[in-house]
Amino acid sequence: MLPLDHIRILDLSRLAPGPFCTMLLADLGADVIKIEELGGGRRARLERQARRPPPEEEARRRAHSAFDRNKRSITLDLKSPDGVEVFRRLARTADVVVEGFRPGVVRRLGVDYERLRDLNPRLVYCSISGYGQDGPYAGVVGHDINYIALAGALSLIGERDGPPATPGNLLGDFAGGGLLAAFGILAAVVARERTGAGQYVDIAMTDGVAMLLTYFFSEYFARGSIPMRGTHRLTGAAPYYGAYRCADDRYIAVGCNEPWFYENLCRALGGERYLDDQWAAGERAEEIRRFFAEAFRARPRDEWFDALRDHDVAASPVYTLDEAASDPQLRARGMFVDLLDPEVGPVRQVGIAVKLSETPGAVRHTAHAAGADTDAVLREAAFSPEEIARLRAAGAFGSVNGERT
C-alpha cells in the first residue's frame, strides 16, 4: 500500500516546479498522468533544430529524468476540440489537475478550473505561476532568479561587498513552487474529505520564497533593520557560521550558533583565547575569522570533518555532487536509488526524502516515453477502441511534421 495510491492527478505542467510537485506525489503512490504535447512542445522543438540528439541520447535523458518517474504519459493536442474533450472527460474522474502555464492560458484552452469544476465538483485544481493569478505582476514573465530577487532572498546571498550570488533554482522553482504546491494539494485533498468539495490552489513561486524568508522578515518587522548578504550572522557576518578553505583547497562549513558548539570549535582549533568572544563584532570578529581561516588551512577537509565530529562541532564538508552521491549518511538514508530502465539499463536517481514508517513511498519505474500510456489511460476512462481510433485519426493526440499519431 502506498499512501496516495487512491489519488489520480492530471499533470499539464512543463517546467521544473510542476513536474517536481507531481514527482513528489507520484513517489507516494499517486497515479500521475502526464499530459504531453507530441514532440515535446516549443522548447524541445527549438532544441532539436539547434542540435539533433541521437535516439540513444534521448532515451538516456528520458530514463534519467527523475521528474517523470512513477508517472504515466499520454499525448493530447489541447488546441484541438477533440483533445480538449478528451481532457475534460478524463477530468470527470480525476482528483487533481496541476498546471503551470501563464495566467489565462488554461482559460483560453477551455480547461480552466471553473469549467472543470462544473464537471467534477470534487476536483482539486492547482495552478503554479511566478507571481500568482492576480496582482499587478500576474502576467509578467520570469524565472527563479526573478522570483527570489523580488521576494528579497537574492539580496541575502553572496559576499558582503560583491554582487548577489545566483544560487541555482532551488528556492523559487523547487521549494517555493513545487514543494509548496504539493503541500497545498494535499491540504485541499484532506479538506475535501470533510467538505466533499474540491477547490482551487493558487501557488505563486514569489509568495513561496517570501514564506521561506519568514525568519528574516520577522526580524525586519520586529526591529526595522534590513538584513543583507554578509551583514547578518546567517548571511556571512559571523565567523562561526560560514565556509572555510582547507589544506587541500576544499571547503568545510561550520554552523556553531550555540555557545557550546562555538566553544567546542574554538578548542578544536586551538583558539581558547576567543571562547568569550562569540558575539564580538567589528575588528574582533574579523580577527576571529582570520584565525579560523588560518587554522583550517593546516589540514585537509576530510581530516577536519573527522576531527570536528569527535569534538561535537556543527561542521560538514562542502561536497560536490559526486561526493554527496557517495556520502555514507545519504546512502544509508536511501537518498540514491538504482533502477533498471527497459531500454537504457541501470539508472541511478535521487531517492525519496519523506520517510513514512507504515506506508513508505517507492520509486517504481523510470519515465515512460511521451504518449506510451495513451491507449491504456483512455480505455480506463471507458473510451472504446473505435473512439480511440477516431480520435487518433482526427489528431486529438497531436502530430509531428503534419503526421497524425
Looking at residue 46, what is its pLDDT? 55
The CATH number that applies at residue 172 is: 3.40.50.10540
Q: Is residue 306 part of a domain?
A: yes
In a domain, 236, yes or no: no
3-state secondary structure 203-237: EEHHHHHHHHCHHHHHHHHHHCCCCCCCCCCCCCC
Please tell me the predicted confidence (pLDDT) of residue 54: 85
Same domain as 308, residue 253? yes
Q: Give the mean pLDDT of 12-22.
A: 97
Alpha-carbon Rg of the chain, whole angstroms? 25
Q: Could you say which of 259, 292, 324 is where a domain stops? A: 324
**Are 301 and 352 within one domain?**
no
Whether residue 68 contacts residue 34, with contact meaning beta carbons closer than 8 Å, is answered with yes
Q: Is residue 45 part of a domain?
A: yes
Q: How far apart are CA 137 and CA 260, in angstroms?
A: 47
153 torsion bin: left (phi>0), alpha (psi -120 to 50), beta (else):
alpha
Per the domain annotation, does 99 fall within a domain?
A: yes
How buried is residue 201: exposed, middle or buried, by Cβ count under 10 Å (0-12/13-18/19+)?
Answer: buried
Give yes or no for a contact between 366 and 62, defined as CB atoms under 8 angstroms apart: yes
Phi and psi, residue 19, nearest 5°: -60, -35
pLDDT-derived band at 42 (thresholds 50, 70, 90) equals: low
Check residue 40 and give its pLDDT: 62
Task: Tell me the pLDDT tens digit for each residue of 244-276.
Answer: 999 999 999 999 999 999 999 999 999 999 999
Rounded average pLDDT over 84-110: 98
Are residues 128 and 53 both part of a single domain? Answer: yes
Q: Strand 8-11 relative to strand 96-99: parallel, antiparallel, unpaired? A: parallel
Which helix H or strand E contains 386, and what residues bound it?
Answer: helix 385-394
Q: Which amino acids are annotated catalytic?
A: 143, 173
Phi-psi sector, 52: left (phi>0), alpha (psi -120 to 50), beta = beta
Confidence check: pLDDT of 337 > 90: yes
- Work out the average pLDDT over 37-56: 66
Separation CA 354–CA 24 (nearest Å): 9
> What pLDDT is attached to residue 404?
46
- CB-hemisphere CA count at 13 Å for 273? 6
Residues 6+ apart with CB under 8 A from 234: 241
Cell of 259: 555557545
Three-class SS of residue 367? Answer: coil
Lowest mean pLDDT among 144-148, 317-321, 396-400: 396-400
> Are both 82 and 189 inside the same structural domain?
yes
Same domain, 320 and 357: no
Do 309 and 385 sit in the same domain of this protein?
Answer: no
Residue 17 β-bridge partners:
none
Cα 319 to Cα 329: distance, rounded to the nearest angstrom: 13
User: Is the four-CA dihedral 247, 248, 251, 256 of positive or negative sign?
Assistant: negative
- Its pTM stands at 0.94
Residue 181 within any structural domain of the chain: yes
Query: Is pLDDT at 33 greater than 90 in this prediction?
Result: yes
Same domain? 190 vs 90 = yes
Structural domain ending residue among the three candidates 324, 350, 374: 324
128 membership: H or E segment, kind and range: strand 124-129
Q: What does the pLDDT read at residue 376?
A: 98
CATH number of the domain at 309, please: 3.30.1540.10
Can you tell me the mean pLDDT for 293-302?
A: 98
Question: What mean pLDDT value characterizes the chain?
Answer: 95
pLDDT greater than 90 at residue 210: yes
Secondary structure class of 342 (helix, strand, coil): coil
Give the structural domain span for 83. Answer: 8-212+334-404
Q: Are 206 and 349 in a shared domain? A: yes
pLDDT category of residue 400 using cuts at 50, 70 and 90: low
Residues 201, 270, single domain; the answer is no
For residue 218, being part of any structural domain is answered with no
Kindly state whether residues 70 and 185 are assigned to the same domain: yes
Sorting pLDDT into bands at 50, 70 and 90, what band is 402? very low
Q: Which of 267, 300, 324 is the last residue of a domain?
A: 324
Across 354-369, average pLDDT: 97
Residues 89, 69 within the same domain: yes
Q: Which residues pair with 126 in a beta bridge?
A: 98, 201
Question: Would 356 be classed as within a structural domain?
Answer: yes
Instruction: Give me the residues paired with residue 71 across strands.
Output: 32
| Amino acid letter, 370 | A
| Per-residue pLDDT, 403 | 44
User: At 345, is the pLDDT very low, low, confident or very high (cuts 50, 70, 90)?
Assistant: very high
Place of cell 503541500: 183
Least confident of 20-24, 96-100, 104-108, 225-229: 225-229
Positive or negative, the Cα torsion across 164, 169, 174, 178?
A: positive
Number of structural domains found in the chain: 2
Q: What is the mean pLDDT of residues 131-149?
A: 98
Q: Which residues pair with 251 in a beta bridge?
A: 245
pLDDT of residue 147: 98
In a domain, 299, yes or no: yes
Average the pLDDT over 41-46 and give the result. 56
Residue whose C-alpha cell is 506510451: 372
pLDDT above 70 for 43: no
Give the Å distances, CA to CA, from 251 to 296, 305, 306, 317, 320.
9, 10, 14, 6, 10
CA gap 33, 51 in Å, rounded: 29
> Are the C-beta atoms of 343 and 369 separated by less than 8 Å?
no
Q: What pLDDT sits at residue 104? A: 96
Domain co-membership, 182 together with 289? no
Per-residue burial over 109-133, b if 16 or more Cβ lie within 10 Å, else e, is: bebbbeebbeebeebbbbbbbbbbe
What amino acid occupies position 138?
A
Percentage of the chain modeled with pLDDT above 70: 95
